[in-house]
Amino acid sequence: MANSFQTATSTPAQDVTQSCWSCGAMRTAYFCKACGKVQPATPVDYFTFFGLPRKLNVDLAALEKDFYLLSRKLHPDVVAQGSRMEQEWSLQQSSLLNDAYRTLKDPVRRTEYLLRIEGVELEEQSKAASDKARNTGEAKKQIVPPDLLEEVFELNMQLEELRMQKKMGEDDPALLEEIGKEKLKLEEKHEAHLRDLKAYWGNWDTLIEREQHGDAVSPEERRQARDKMVDLLNRRNYVRNLVRDVNEALEQ
Amino acid sequence: MSYSDKVLDHYSNPRNVGSMDKSSADVGTGLVGAPECGDVMKLQIKVNRDTNVIEDAKFKTFGCGSAIASSSLATEWVKGKTVDEALSIKNMDIVKELSLPPVKIHCSVLAEDAIRAAIGDWKKKQQTAQPVTAEAK
Ligand code: FES
């Protein structure tokens, strides 16, 4: 167990204990090592697909290189002369490759994806908090901080007014200016969230590294590192939606 | 997705839209959000201090049709109830009344959260307000 990570650290092709359908040799995730034939896609997560540990700091240059290399090798044209099965698998692998790359290269999608495969369901979280509030009679712990909710609410009121004015053909430069200012603030916040998120990646990655070195990581530690990111992404969702709504209202 | 008639009714003809004075001692305000979709809901109640009966309720929701309908219905339901009775309203009651589909359950949760938050706010005000009035007498 303790040294299983050694095979999974750097090379993209992970060892999978399956034999090649064509020549019977042990195969890697996408190709047979011995005869080089494309293999059916194995249901692995995107990190495993690229032979990466579940860490959030990712070497994007290396990822990109792997991606291009694999896209060439997995391209359906390569097996144009092959069997229908090979063509099918090649297609499967290519689309898995594209999904994996698109998800992992984006910082937010990568984080959301990791949280999902780590078992975090946002909807569930909110429901669990409601159940708890109902059972204990205490106020529900809001996932989003009250001051942000206040801000969201106020801005929505202003946007509503703006839409109404536009409908009536009026315009109110003071309101527009205020909304514009608010929008700048939101955009700054949006960027700050991304910086904070990246800071949290470090926490998480340290846990994974400890595990790789055979150290035990308690579920509680894992949960804490996860929850910080969940919190932040929740807040970020609001800000993102708001920026979108502001832009829509201004363009109308 | 198609909304049920009741949702449409509340949506196109929402009851009790508006706001009350947040700083008033007999008004409780609940402001809640659903991070899944970024929607926000504000629900306010005005409570008679002697009877604990909710005499008036207002809401303002920025969100989907189901959230608007849920909060509109919630204000109708809490009116005339005592604070404790209102606390027994469950999101599933709203789901049933409005025939909300499973993907819209969180919208009804938001309404229940809002009722609870408004009552919580009102209760907090009563705890802090009473000693002051006692001194003033
Ligand atoms: S979709 Fe979010 S409250 Fe309805």
Domain boundaries, chain A: 15-105, 128-251
Cα(A4)–Cα(B61) distance, integer angstroms: 52
Q: How many domains are there within chain B?
A: 1
**pLDDT per residue as tens, chain A (252 positions):** 333 333 333 344 444 446 667 766 655 567 776 677 887 777 788 998 888 889 999 999 999 999 999 898 888 887 788 888 888 888 888 889 999 999 999 999 999 999 999 888 666 666 666 677 666 666 666 667 788 889 889 999 999 998 888 888 888 888 888 888 988 998 898 899 999 999 999 999 999 999 989 998 998 999 899 989 988 888 888 888 888 888 888 887
Per-residue pLDDT reduced to its tens digit, B52-83:
999 999 999 998 899 999 999 999 999 999 99
Q: Which of A250, A241, A236, A248 is nearest to A179 (CA)?
A: A250
Cα A234 off chain centre by? 13
- B78, B107, B117, B119: the active-site residue: B107
For residue A145, the SS3 value is coil
The reply to whether B136 falls in a domain is no
Q: Does domain A15-105 have CATH number 1.10.287.110?
A: yes
Residue A49 · residue A97 · CB < 8 Å = yes
Range of the domain at B66: 5-124
Cβ atoms of A149 and A176 closer than 8 Å = no
Q: Is residue B135 part of a domain?
A: no
B24 vs A30, residue with greater confidence? B24
Integer CA distances (angstroms), A152 to A148, A246, B32, B110, in order? 6, 11, 11, 15
Indicate if ligand 1 lies below 6 Å from the C-beta of B109. no
Whether residue B132 lies inside any domain: the answer is no
Q: What is the CATH number of the domain that holds B58?
A: 3.90.1010.10
The pTM is what?
0.72
Round to whole Å and give the CA distance between B100 and B108. Answer: 8
Closest-CA residue, ligand 1 atom 1, reads B64
Pairwise CA distance, residues B117 & A142, whole Å: 10
Q: Are B38 and A241 in contact (CB under 8 A)?
A: yes
Q: Model ipTM?
A: 0.84
For residue B107, indicate whether it is catalytic: yes
